[in-house]
Amino acid sequence: MSRKNRSSIDEWCRQYEKVLPDYIRCAQKIDYLIRDLLRAKNIGYHLIESRAKEVSSFRDKVMRASKSYSNPLEELTDLAGIRIISYYQHDAQDIANLIKQEFYVDGDNSIEHSPSGAEFGYRSTHYVVRLSEARSSLPEWAGLSTFKFEIQIRTVLQHAWAAISHKLQYKREDDVPEPLRRKLFRLSALFELADDEFVSLRDASVKLSEEIEGKLSLGEKDIKINYVSLSNFIDNSECVAELCAYAEAVGFEFGSPQIEDSPDDYLSDLIQLAAVVRVLDISQFDSILRGASSWAEDYLLRQYSASETPDDSSWYASPEFICSLILIGDRYEDVGVEDLINLGWDFDIADRVLDVANEFKSGS
C-alpha cells in the first residue's frame, strides 16, 4: 500500500472516530424503536442485538485489497447494525414487512435471498435502510436523517447456521473442500427443514389449544393434563377464580413484578405436582378444586399466616401456585418434601407448607 493510501485511511479513521458516538446513538435508538414497533404489532422475537462498527473494524474493512473506496464514510452501509432473531420463519417475514413499512429501504444494497436446495448457504435477509422522511423530521432524530444502517433478520436456526458457518470459516460454496461439501449441503437442508417443522409444530399447538378450549367450553373434562389443557382450564375456570379470590382475601397478592418465576414456571410445576399425586386429567383436577371450596379459605389463611413474610410485605402468588397449594392440601399424604424440592421449591418453604397441610387436614 502506498504512503498516500495509508495516509488517506488514517484520515478516514480519524473522521470516523469523531462521528462514532453518533452511530452508537443511532444504533441504540433504532434498537429501541424496533422493539417498540414489534411490541405494538404483537410480533414475537427471540433477541435483538445492536452495534456500531468499532474503529478497528472500520480500518480493517477499508484496507481490504479487494475494495476501493473514494469515501468510506458515505459508501459503507453497515457502520450501524441491528440483528433481529425470531423464533419462526413466519415471524421473520412479518418483521421484514414491518421494516419495509417503517424505513426507507435501499433496494440496490439489500438482500432478500432464499437459496434453492442445490445452493450452499441459508436463507438470510439483510436490509440497508435509513429513516423514513416522516420520522427523520422529528426532533429526537436530529442529525441522524442521512445515516444508513443495516438490519439483519434471521430465525434462531438461521442464526445458529450462520454462527457455525462462520466458525468453520466457509462463507461461499467454493471455499469448502470437496470432501466436506456434501455434508454441509445435507446439514443446510436439515436446518431448513427443522425451521419449517417448527412452524408446523407451532400451528399444530395452536390448533390443539383451540380444540381443547372448545371441549372445555362444552363442559368436557375427560382431557389428559398437559401444558395446553391445564393452561386453558385455569384461564377459564370459575372455580380457580373463586380460589384465587379466597387467597387474595387472606393476604396473597397476584400479578406483582416481584415474582421471580414466570407463569410458565408455575404451570410446569403444577403439571409435575399433579403427576406426583396421580391427578391425570382435567376432570380429576376440577373435582379436587371444587371439593376444596368448603375448606380452601381457612386452609389458605393458615398457609399465609405460617409464612415468614414481614408484617409490611405479602406472599406473592399466581393462580397456578394457589392450585398447587390446594393439591397439596387435598393430597398431603402423597407429597413429600423431596417432591417439592425436585420442583424447585426452597426446603424451608416446602417443609412449612407440608406441615401446615398435615396439621390442617389431620385436624379437620
Q: CA–CA separation, 104 vs 132, rounded Å?
A: 5
When pLDDT is cut at 50, 70 and 90, the band that residue 7 belongs to is: confident
Between 121 and 213, the more confident residue is 213
Give pLDDT tens digits for 227-261: 989 999 999 899 999 999 999 999 898 875 544 55
- The domain limits of the chain are 3-191, 221-363
Instruction: Give the pLDDT confidence score for residue 113 in this predicted structure.
Output: 62
Instruction: Give the pLDDT confidence score for residue 174 in this predicted structure.
Output: 65
Instruction: Give the pLDDT confidence score for residue 138 in this predicted structure.
Output: 92
Give pLDDT tens digits for 299-336: 999 999 988 655 556 688 899 999 999 999 999 999 99
Instruction: Decide: residue 253, CB within 10 A, 0-12 exposed, 13-18 middle, 19+ buried.
Output: middle
The class of domain 3-191 in CATH terms is alpha beta
Q: How many residues does the chain have?
A: 364
Helices 238-250 and 296-306 pack at an angle, to 10 degrees, of 40
Neighbours of 40 (CB within 10 A): 9
Q: CA–CA separation, 360 vs 96, rounded Å?
A: 58
User: DSSP alpha helices (H): ranges in 122-236?
Assistant: 133-136, 156-168, 178-217, 227-236
Q: CA–CA separation, 105 vs 109, rounded Å?
A: 9
When pLDDT is cut at 50, 70 and 90, the band that residue 66 belongs to is: low
Q: Are 327 and 289 within 8 A, CB to CB?
A: no
Neighbours of 109 (CB within 10 A): 15
In order, the DSSP letters of 61-108 are HHT-TT---S-HHHH-S-SEEEEEEESSHHHHHHHHHHHHHHEEE-TT
Q: CA–CA separation, 197 vs 128, rounded Å?
A: 30
% of the chain residues with pLDDT over 70? 88
When pLDDT is cut at 50, 70 and 90, the band that residue 20 belongs to is: very high
Q: Is the pLDDT of residue 3 over 50?
A: no
The rounded Cα 187 to chain-centroid distance in angstroms is 25
Q: CA–CA separation, 161 vs 190, rounded Å?
A: 10
Instruction: Give the pLDDT confidence score for residue 264 in this predicted structure.
Output: 64
Neighbours of 319 (CB within 10 A): 20
Q: What is the mean pLDDT of residues 92-100?
A: 94
Q: CA–CA separation, 352 vs 302, rounded Å?
A: 11
Q: What is the mean pLDDT of residues 279-297?
A: 94
Residue with cell 417503517: 102
Instruction: Give the pLDDT confidence score for residue 316 in this predicted structure.
Output: 84
When pLDDT is cut at 50, 70 and 90, the band that residue 1 belongs to is: very low
Give pLDDT tens digits for 193-203: 888 898 898 89
pTM, whole model, 2 decimals?
Answer: 0.69
* Average confidence score pLDDT of the chain: 86
Helices 263-276 and 227-236 pack at an angle, to 10 degrees, of 110
Between 122 and 336, the more confident residue is 336
Instruction: Give the pLDDT confidence score for residue 184 in this predicted structure.
Output: 75
Show the 3-state SS of 249-277: HHCCEECCCCCCCCHHHHHHHHHHHHHHC
118-122, 157-161, 195-199: least confidently modelled range: 118-122
Instruction: Decide: residue 161, CB within 10 A, 0-12 exposed, 13-18 middle, 19+ buried.
Output: buried
Instruction: Give the pLDDT confidence score for residue 170 in this predicted structure.
Output: 63
Q: What is the mean pLDDT of residues 130-152?
A: 91
> Which set of grid coordinates corresponds to residue 182?
456434501
Instruction: Give the pLDDT confidence score for residue 175 in this predicted structure.
Output: 67
